[in-house]
Structure 1
Amino acid sequence: MLRGLEIRDMLIIDRLDLSFQPGLNVLTGETGAGKSILLDSLGFVLGWRGRADLVRQGAEQGEVVAVFDLSAGHPARAVLEEAGLPAGDEVILRRINGRDGRKTSWVNDRRVSGEVLRALSDTLVELHGQHDDRGLLNPRGHRQVLDAFAGVGPLMGDVRTAWRALGQARRARQDAEARLAEVAAEEDFLRHAVAELDKLDPQAGEEATLDAQRRAMQGAVRVRGDVARALAALSDDGAERLLIDATRWLEDASDGVEGGLDGALSALGRALNELGEAQQGVERCLDALDVDPHALEATEERLFALRALARKHGVLADDLGGFADDLRARLSALDGGAAGIASLKQDEAQAQAKYDDAAAGLSAARREAAGRLDAAMMAELSPLKMERAVFTTCIAPGEPGPEGADSVAFEVATNPGAPSGALNKIASGGELSRFLLALKVCLARGTSGVTMIFDEIDRGVGGATADAVGRRLRGLAEGAQVLVVTHSPQVAALGGHHWRVEKKVADGATLSTVTPLSADARVTEIARMLSGDTISDAAMAAAQSLLAG
């Protein structure tokens, strides 16, 4: 419920503080007094798109504050929670329009975007009038209006669930087909690469092992010549032969020197023994360095093949095995792709069937509700002196989506035999107002928590018809809040609370004011609405009669 509205420096309003009440609130005043400015200001703080030049002449900025009371389960609470805003028993909207056109908005003292304001406004206020393109006159919203009347929430939930499942199944099939097409385009490459990798059969860590073996064999080839030459120097044709000759010569000469060569001969014996051990060690090392040239060649060929294949595919040699597994998986997907896609197509068909069933159930509920809505509308139009008019809820096949596969539009014919058409195309101003009021009465049953605003919805009607309009507005206001801008005394007399909008000139400036009316002041205002500027006794009596009901 809208509890309070504060307006500062907006158009011809300098300062205005209003406190509204539950029930039917009526605002009256002469044409041009500022009633539309009041609604423009309210629309501004709610984030609605409207006129741009709102700041009062001479002021630096205009400001509007609106305070709404929230019930425990009010849908605005969900919007506040989603936006990360504090939520309590009230919500305070504040918006400033600078002279330069810049707009800033706050909700509960938190800076917010216009999008958040508009999301909140959808849960707080409904505006109905001849130029209302946000509500019942907007064909894009007629399906939602019918669904609200029909109470198809559970069916809608089933349809949305089925739509999500269908979307998932469709995307799974499309993704599989895309992957299959991608793999099929490189089938020749995949088969050649897998065959090449299978033939080589690379193993993790193999490159390092082969490289170490190659280095060892290459090193052995380089040092074996030196070891062989050393062995030759130690063998029979080298140091060993010389030592043996020297020993023989010294032994022949030892008798002539009477033991002078015994020490030398002993040392030579030991040297020959040591030389033999050295020769055996060198021979063992030479045997160990005996590298098969074919083995070195084979090691190098495999090492080079691994590295070449790694460069070819842009991976590390140790990753060739995993890379081969990936290619095999892609080939496997290609070989089994047709069967997999067939299965996915079957899943999609089943999801489509479930969606079609859910959508058909929702369509049936909509058609049944459409008949009830049309009958309810005809019952409401008769007291509004439109018993000859025809209201029809048209349901046609529409684009399938999460809310079903129906297109819904409200059409009217103002006279029997006349062609029907869209609400805002066929009806005149007064007829349109009554159609909208009747439709809102039918749709508002059970509605709570939303402030409904009717902007001159009684235009073009009077007498008993205006009285019928007023009584339906009062009925809507039971247990709710309705604000009505009206020129009809019959409607104004049925209000629970009454404000008069006036335009005054003070110090050369034109200002608009809004004054709550007492019981006596209401009689005078309704008398003015009946008779004009000159209020007669008869008009006063008629006003009192209207207020008495």
Structure 2
Amino acid sequence: MLVSLEIRDMVLIEHLTLGFRPGLNVLTGETGAGKSILLDCLGFVLGWRTRAGLVREGAATGEVTAVFDLPAGHGARAILREAGLPEGAELILRRQMTADGRRTAWVNDRRAGAEVLRALSGTLVELHGQHDDRGLMDARGHRALLDAFAEAGADLAAVRAAWETVAAARAAEDAARARLAAARAEEDFLRHAVAELEKLAPEAGEEADLDTRRRQMQAGARISADLARAVQALGPEGAEGLMRDAGRWLDGAVDTAGALLEAPMAALERAVIELAEAHQGVEEALEQLAFDPHELERIEERLFAIRALARKHAVLPDDLAALAADLSERLHALDAGAGELERLSAETAAAVAAHDALCAQLSARRAEAAARLDAAMAQELAPLKMERAVFQTVIETATPGPEGADQVSFRVATNPGAPAGALNRIASGGELSRFLLALKVCLARSTEALVMIFDEIDRGVGGATADAVGRRLARLAEGAQVLVVTHSPQVAARGAHHWRVEKAVTDGVTRSRVVGLDAPARETEIARMLAGESVTDAARAAARALIAG
């Protein structure tokens, strides 16, 4: 609900604050008094396209502030969250314009762009008038309006969910087809590479291990000859034999030399022991470094094969095992691809069939609702003196999608036998106003959360027809908020709240103001609308009769 509208320095308004209430709010006044200024200012703060030069002459900046009541679950809350703007029980829109045309907007005291204002306005306000190209006259929204009238929310949600399943199935099928095509393009390479890798069967870390073993064998080959000569030099044929000979010679001389040979012989004995240990150690080293030349050849062949294959595939040797697994998986996908693609195609076909069935169910619901809407419109048009006009809800087959397989448009024929056409192309100004009002009354349930504004929708009608317009506006305002700019006393008489827009010249400056009317002032205003400037007793009596209804 629109709670208040505050305007500063816009066109002819210096400062004005209006507090609106639920029900039918009526604004009346002489032509040129400034009623259109109010709508211009409201459209400005809502981000709608407005005319230039709205700032009051002599003012540097004009400003409009609109306050809306925002109950829990209102559609505007999702837009606020998406834009990162604060939420509250009220939504405060404020927009300024400088004299040179620069515009700045705030939403709940946070800076915001015009696109956010326009998105919010779609959940807040619906404007209807003879030249309205939004809302009911926009054929792109007719399907949604019919769905709301049909209360098809559950069916529509099921169709949307089914469409998501179709989209996911098609995406999976397309991805599988692309993978299969890519795999087939490299089938020869895959089969050769997988066979080559499987034959070699490289393992992670194997290249480093083979290189270490190869280096050890090569090193052993270089020093084994020296070790063999050392073993021979230390053994019985070398130093060990000479030392043992020396020991025997000293044993033969010990009886003569006596104590003189005790120390040398002890040292010789120790040397023989150390020499034996050295001989044994060198022999063990020689044994450990001994290798089979054929084994070295096999290691080198495998090492070179692994490195060559790694260079061929431009990977590290340790990555060959992972590459083999990946290529094997791709080859397996190729071999199994036809079957997988067939399975996915079947899933897509089943998803499409399920979506088509739900679309058919939704189409049936729409067709039934269209017949009811056409009948309801016929009932509404008759009191509006358009009993010969025909309203048609046309449903045509469309490409299946998330909203079903129907294209919906509202068409009218104002004369019997005349072809039906779009609302804004067939109906005249007065007829269009009445068509829009009748349609709005029939579709009222679909826009309960919106503030509905009717800009001189009663133009061109009078008498009983104007009374019928007023009664329908009052009915539409039950449990909702409707703002009506009108010149019709019959419509004004149905208002729950009444404001008069006035224009006055003070000190050579023209200003517009809006005055809230109590019961006596309201009677006077409706009498003026009936009689003109000279309000007679008869006009007052007629005004009282209209208000009494």
The answer to whether the superposition gives a TM-score over 0.5 is yes
Residue matched to 2:437: 437
Whole-angstrom CA distance in 2 between matches of 1:141 and 1:7: 32
Counterpart in the other structure of 2:95: 95
Other-structure match for 2:199: 199
CA displacement at 1:76 relative to structure 2: 4.0
Q: How high is the sequence identity, in percent, across the aligned residues?
A: 67
Residues 143 and 260 of structure 1: is their aligned pair in 2 closer, same or farther, counting only changes over 3 Å?
closer
Distance 1:10 1:437 in 2: 30
SS at match of 2:136: coil
> Which residue identity does 1:129 align to in structure 2?
G
Higher mean C-alpha deviation, range 327-336 or range 95-104? 95-104
Amino acid at match of 2:132: D
**Residue identity matched to 1:437:** L
Match of 2:63 in 1: 63
Q: Distance in 1 between matches of 2:273 and 2:484?
A: 130
- 1:78-477 equivalences under 5 Å are 78-80=78-80, 85-234=85-234, 238-239=238-239, 275=275, 278-445=278-445, 448-477=448-477
**SS of 2:212 mapped into structure 1:** helix
Say whether the 8 Å CA contact 2:149–2:446 is kept in structure 1.
Answer: no
Q: 2:493, 2:262 → 1: CA distance?
A: 154
User: Secondary structure at 1:325's aligned position in 2?
Assistant: helix
Q: What is the distance in 2 between the residues matched to 1:475 and 1:262?
A: 139
Q: How far is the alpha carbon of 1:448 from its aligned partner?
A: 3.3
Q: Which residue of structure 1 aligns with residue 37 of structure 2?
A: 37
**In 1: Cα distance, 2:203 partner to 2:415 partner:** 88
What root-mean-square deviation, in Å, do the aligned CA atoms of Structure 1 and Structure 2 show?
A: 2.9
DSSP-derived class of the 1:136 partner? helix
Q: Which runs of 5+ in 2 are unaligned?
A: none
What amino acid is aligned across from residue 69 of structure 2 in structure 1? Answer: D
- CA distance in 2 between counterparts of 1:75 and 1:253 reads 123
Using the TM superposition, name which of 401-410 and 314-323 deviates more: 314-323
Bigger shift: residues 538-547 or 27-36? 538-547
Moved more, 160-169 or 443-452: 443-452
**Paired residues, number:** 549
2:137/2:423 contact within 8 Å kept: yes
5+ residue gaps, structure 1, are none
**Take 1:505 and 1:369, find their aligned partners in 2: how far apart are those partners?**
54
1:123-150 alpha-carbon deviations (Å, 9 max, x no partner): 3221111222220000000001111111
The code of the aligned residue for 2:160 comes to: R
Distance 2:69 2:428 in 1: 36
Deviation at 1:243, TM superposition (A): 5.3
User: Secondary structure at 2:418's aligned position in 1?
Assistant: coil
Aligned-partner residue type, residue 464 of structure 1: A
Distance 2:495 2:277 in 1: 129
Q: Distance in 1 between matches of 2:326 and 2:276?
A: 61
| Of 343-352 and 506-515, the range deviating more from structure 2 | 506-515
Q: 1:131/1:286 Cα in 2 relative to 1: closer, same or farther (>3 Å)? A: same
Deviation at 1:426, TM superposition (A): 0.6
CA distance change for structure 1 residues 230 and 533 in 2, over 3 Å: closer, same or farther?
A: same
Matched letter for residue 526 of structure 2: I
SS in 1 for 2:334: helix
Report the Cα distance in structure 2 between the residues aligned to 1:304 and 1:23, rounded to whole angstroms: 91
Farther-moved stretch of structure 1 (18-27 vs 270-279):
270-279
CA distance in 2 between counterparts of 1:546 and 1:289 reads 122
Query: Residue type of the partner of 1:514?
Result: V
SS of the equivalent of 1:364 reads helix
What amino acid does structure 1 have at the position aligned with 2:478?
E
**CA distance in structure 1 between the aligned counterparts of 2:264 and 2:90, rounded to whole angstroms:** 122
1:55: Cα distance to partner? 2.4
TM-score by length of 2: 0.91
The structure-2 alpha-carbon separation of the partners of 1:511 and 1:311, relative to structure 1 and needing over 3 Å to count, comes to: farther
**Alpha carbons of structure 1 residues 500 and 297: separation in structure 2 relative to 1, 3 Å:** same
Return closer, same or farther for 1:258/1:140 CA change in 2, 3 Å cut-off: closer
- Give yes or no for contact 2:27–2:486 (8 Å, CA) kept in 1: yes
**Equivalent residue, structure 2, for 1:485:** 485
User: 1:70–1:449: 8 Å Cα contact kept in structure 2?
Assistant: no
Q: Which residue of 1 aligns with 2:509?
A: 509
Find the aligned partners of 1:138 and 1:477 in 2 and give their Cα distance: 23
Change (3 A) 1:341 1:519: same
The structure-2 alpha-carbon separation of the partners of 1:131 and 1:282, relative to structure 1 and needing over 3 Å to count, comes to same
- Note the C-alpha offset of 1:281: 3.8
2: CA distance, partners of 1:100 / 1:434:
40
CA distance in 2, matches of 1:252, 1:20: 140
In 2, distance between residues paired with 1:261 and 1:114? 118
Shift of the 260–380 alpha-carbon distance from structure 1 to 2, 3 Å rule, reads: closer
Shift of 1:60: 2.7
Question: Displacement of 1:216 after TM fit?
Answer: 1.4
In the alignment, is the contact (CA less than 8 A) between 2:307 and 2:317 conserved in 1?
A: yes
- Aligned residue type for 1:142: H
Asked if 2 retains the 8 angstrom alpha-carbon contact of 1:489 and 1:526, the reply is: yes
> Equivalent residue for 1:14?
14
Between 1:359-368 and 1:151-160, the stretch displaced more is 151-160
Distance 1:366 1:256, change over 3 A: closer
Moved more, 36-45 or 142-151: 36-45
Q: Could you tell me how far 1:73 is from its partner in structure 2?
A: 5.4
The secondary structure found in structure 1 opposite 2:54 is coil
- 1:349: Cα distance to partner? 0.8
Q: 1:241 to 1:454 in 2, by over 3 A?
A: same
**Contact 2:148-2:445 within 8 A present in 1 as well:** no
Q: CA deviation at 1:545?
A: 3.8
- Partners of 2:258 and 2:383 lie apart in 1 by 163
How far has the Cα of 1:459 moved from its partner?
Answer: 1.2
Q: Deviations over 1:260-318 (max 9, x none)?
A: 87876786677566555544443343233223333223222222322332333343322
Report the TM-score when normalising by structure 1.
0.91
Distance 2:397 2:120 in 1: 32
Deviations 1:425-447 (A, max 9, x none): 11010010010011011111485
**Structure 1 residues 77 and 280 mapped into 2: Cα distance closer, same or farther (>3 Å)?**
closer
The residue type equivalent to 1:427 in the other structure is A
